[in-house]
Amino acid sequence: MCKPFMVGDQQVGWVWPGVEKHIQRFPDVFMVEDKQVSLCPSLQMYEERTARVQEVMVKLREEGEFIALKGWRDEMYEVFHQRSSPPVFRMERTATALLGVKQYGVHVNGYVEHPQKGPLMWIGRRAKNKSTYPGKLDQVTAGGFTAGLTAQEVLVKECAEEANIPQDIALTAQPAGAISYFYEDERGLFPEIQFVFDLKLPLDFQPVNTDGEVSEFYLWDMDKVKEQIAQPDFKPNCAMVVLDFLIRHGHIHPDQEPRYLQFLENLHKTLF
């Protein structure tokens, strides 16, 4: 059974038994108790916590027991109780799955309003060399937070890198809420929150990938989009973001979809 991961009196993640048995070897960093795992109370400062947790994760990476750490990115991620509260420390992004830390990202629904065909959505296909979900369908652009960036800064950065969307267009994106969900796989635990933005693109705009992470783009009508998000070819959390768009824009109707309320509930899970 997973245990809450605490920093002080605030929960910031979950620890599963396969990780607990390894981190209990570092009692000066992690305090393992019957009902929870805590960061050692003697670690009070942000930089000290960051350094000590990093030491443990580097050691675990060297030992080669965890699949998640084989994808080490050298990308630091801030750990929060809530996004609105100050970060308590930062850690290697791939290691967050070992501590079940909330991961935040930004997903952009890029769409156009065609005068004859109606609304159309740009969909990207992930490059086949991506370490996660290679070749799967995705938003026109999306990305996780890195330490020190705001949601809008992540949006502008990812728009430029993944679809060559100019900053002046990217800044017209409208915030449209967030989705939250929890899943686990062979890498660890993933409580995630994705900030959602809707971006109306010019009719003549053609996205072009600049960072090698997207292999191609498609411009589909809403019927095609609805059909595709139900297929395994779509990255699961991206399908959820599109589903949220379809509901908010009236393309899925409660009188016509018997799972309407189930969809809404599953798009907004309480993580801890």
- Amino acid (one-letter) located at 63: E
Residue 272 lies in a domain: no
Q: What is the pLDDT of residues 17-54, one digit of tens each?
A: 999 999 999 999 999 999 999 999 999 999 999 999 99
Q: Residue 118 is encoded by which pair of tokens?
A: 């109606």
Q: Coil, strand or helix: which one is 126?
A: strand
- Residues 195 and 85: their CA atoms lie apart, in Å, by 16
Output the CA torsion sign for 15, 3, 55, 191.
positive
CATH number at residue 130: 3.90.79.10
Are 131 and 261 in the same domain?
Answer: yes
Provide the whole-model pTM: 0.92
User: Among 71, 98, 125, which residue terminates a domain?
Assistant: 98
CA dihedral 90→92→97→103, nearest 10 degrees, is 50
Angle, helices 236-248/260-267, rounded to nearest 10 degrees: 120
- Amino acid (one-letter) located at 44: Q
Are 82 and 116 in the same domain?
Answer: no
Are 139 and 81 in the same domain?
Answer: no
Q: What is the pLDDT of residues 152-164, one digit of tens each?
A: 999 999 999 999 9
> 107-120 in b/e burial notation, b at 16+ Cβ within 10 A?
bbbbbbeeeeeeeb
Q: What is the pLDDT of residues 102-138, one digit of tens each?
A: 999 999 999 999 999 999 999 999 999 998 899 999 9
